[in-house]
Amino acid sequence: MKMGEWPENVGIVALELIFPSHYVEQAELEAYDKVSAGKYTVGLGQARMGFCTDREDINSLCLTVVTKLMERNKISYSEIGRLEVGTETILDKSKSVKTVLMQLFEESGNTDIEGVDTINACYGGTAALFNSVSWVESSAWDGRYALVVAGDIAVYAKGNARPTGGAGAIAMLIGANAPLVLDRGVRATHMKHAYDFYKPDLMSEYPTVDGKLSIQCYLSALDHCYQLFCSKSQKLLLDSREDERFELRHLDAVLFHVPYCKLVQKSLARLMLNDFVRSTEAEQAEKYPGLETFKHVKLEDTYFDRDVEKTFMTQSKGIFEEKTQPSLLLANQVGNMYTPSLYGGLVSLLISRGAQELAGKRVALFSYGSGLASSMFSLQVCCDASPGSPLQQLVANLSHIKSQLALRQKIPPEEFASIMEMREHNHHKAPYIPQASPDVLFPGTWYLESVDSLHRRFYKRLPMSS
């Protein structure tokens, strides 16, 4: 591209995702916690939960995912012009994770890299993505890639919320002529002040959570974003078909931020409920036979209405299995990764469907961060899935994800609880030498070596071969 030219088809060029090498079985955790069988596995829809020892922190996760993306895609560090990190896992109130990542660029001599950290619960990664896309489309763009990094360690105190934890990081390479192109002009955002989930105690990793309010905020934000997204998409994606209403059937896949998998199934049903409410009585009778008793329902009255929830979950089951369930592999196996959660869904979709099947499809994504910030946007998968095409390369470079899941080490609940207690007692301690062995981490993982008396953190990397 020449300076001053508007880049075309800006979006995601490459993806890399990492998760912890340890996990705990949710069924075993149910027995250990002495709760009813199925509370975590059926009630939450979770099978396994990844977690980190004291050898990994947000800096090490981000160092690992950036290094692996650059190596796997053979990208030079000099090719990056913007680097922005989305996270809510805070180690320092001043120094950004992005500046820690700059040590990876030292050998290349590249210090001309814009961007710092973006913070708001699970929404930071999406804000970083939007900012990076805007940079590529702006007069500031110098022809290089932008790099978006999102990572978090989600841990909770003992109790009902602990099984909804997880950990991971994702890196997204942003540029022109991308295989995953963000649709322009249809992005819908809803932001509001709420204390549904927040972290006021800076000496603790644990959040303060109002569980019921958090669900209400999530579903309300989904309603607002979806309605506005449909309104904008009606004008821009349906062209001149003014007699046709944009709705769920126009989307090939729908991805959500995943606090836990069961909420996502309810959320997909919620989109059908929105389509139902937006329909005329005649359309309701034609498209939704048997649901006449709900024709006067108001969305704001249904957040905890079990009859509405159950009915529309049943009605939308086939759509959920087709358009959303393939995106839940990582959420089910790793848990809530916070800022990478939505994009873990994108990775899950790509490795579940493959390049040929996804070529030309439109994917909607709903991002939510407590406090609250939310957006719905969409991307178009390019049509060329031929061997050697950018789309085929992107998907091929994610082919290791499923086998990596199988290589993890299962930890018994008793040991998991002990590790969580160790993290709790040593959080922000200085000086500190981590107690866990780094030898059980995946090859090529960066890990915390030590923290000195001035809270300076030092890292090393395991060799790529065991």
pLDDT in tens, 123-163: 999 999 999 999 999 999 999 999 999 999 999 999 999 99
Q: What average pLDDT score do residues 64-73 get?
A: 98
Q: What average pLDDT score do residues 12-35 get?
A: 98
Q: What is the pLDDT of residue 243?
A: 66
Residue 244 has pLDDT above 90, yes or no: no
In the beta sheet, which residues pair with residue 50? 23
CB 420 within 8 A of CB 414: no
Catalytic residue among 22, 257, 261, 382: 257
Half-sphere exposure of 91 (CA within 13 A, CB side): 24
The structure tokens listed for 398 are: 């994610």
Active site residue 300: no
Q: What average pLDDT score do residues 365-386 get?
A: 98
Q: Which of 299, 309, 302, 373 lies closest to 342 in space, CA to CA?
A: 373
Q: What angle do the packed helices 26-33 and 413-426 form, to 10 degrees?
A: 80
Confidence grade of residue 235 (pLDDT, cut at 50, 70, 90): confident
Residue 285 has pLDDT above 80, yes or no: yes
Catalytic residue among 88, 205, 247, 309: 88
Q: What is the pLDDT of residue 239?
A: 66
Q: What is the pLDDT of residue 189?
A: 98
- Residue 68 burial by CB count (10 A; 0-12/13-18/19+): exposed, middle or buried? buried
Site of tokens 């499809």: 361
Active site residue 400: no
Residue 97 has pLDDT above 90, yes or no: yes
Q: What is the pLDDT of residue 62?
A: 98
Q: What is the pLDDT of residue 88?
A: 98
Report which DSSP code applies to 30.
H
Q: What is the pLDDT of residue 347?
A: 98
Q: How many residues does the chain have?
A: 466
Q: What average pLDDT score do residues 250-275 get?
A: 97
Q: What average pLDDT score do residues 294-303 get?
A: 94
- The Cα–Cα gap between 209 and 213 comes to 9
CA dihedral 80, 147, 124, 442 (to 10 degrees): -120
In the beta sheet, which residues pair with residue 254? 364
Q: What average pLDDT score do residues 262-269 get?
A: 98
Confidence grade of residue 466 (pLDDT, cut at 50, 70, 90): low
Half-sphere exposure of 233 (CA within 13 A, CB side): 26
- The Cα–Cα gap between 130 and 148 comes to 9
Q: What average pLDDT score do residues 171-193 get?
A: 97
Q: What is the pLDDT of residue 391?
A: 98
* Radius of gyration for the alpha carbons in the chain, expressed in angstroms and rounded: 22
Catalytic residue among 52, 62, 122, 225: 122
Residue 408 has pLDDT above 90, yes or no: yes
Residue 354 has pLDDT above 90, yes or no: no
Q: Which of 380, 220, 418 lies closest to 304 in space, CA to CA?
A: 220
Q: What is the pLDDT of residue 5?
A: 67
pTM equals 0.96
Q: Kindly provide the residue ranges of all beta strands, DSSP E only, lying in 87-144, ordered along the sequence.
A: 117-118
Q: What is the pLDDT of residue 395?
A: 97
- Residue 101 burial by CB count (10 A; 0-12/13-18/19+): exposed, middle or buried? buried
Q: Report percent pLDDT > 90 for the chain.
A: 93
- The Cα–Cα gap between 65 and 71 comes to 10
Kindly give, in sequence order, each residue whose CB lies less than 8 Å from that of residue 80, ignoring residues fewer than 6 positions away.
Answer: 105, 110, 113, 144, 145, 146, 147
Across the chain, mean pLDDT equals: 95
Q: Which of 214, 82, 77, 238 lies closest to 148 in space, CA to CA?
A: 82
In the beta sheet, which residues pair with residue 448? 459
Three-state DSSP class for residue 77? helix
pLDDT in tens, 105-126: 999 999 999 999 999 999 999 9
Kindly give, in sequence order, each residue whose CB lies less than 8 Å from that of residue 269, ignoring residues fewer than 6 positions away.
Answer: 309, 312, 313, 315, 316, 320
Q: What average pLDDT score do residues 75-93 get?
A: 97
Number of helices and strands in the chain (H, E): 15, 17
Active site residue 88: yes
Residue 3 has pLDDT above 60, yes or no: no
The structure tokens listed for 258 are: 């995943």
The structure tokens listed for 187 are: 């992005």
Q: Could you tell me whether strands 11-18 and 180-182 are parallel, antiparallel, or unpaired per DSSP bridges?
A: antiparallel
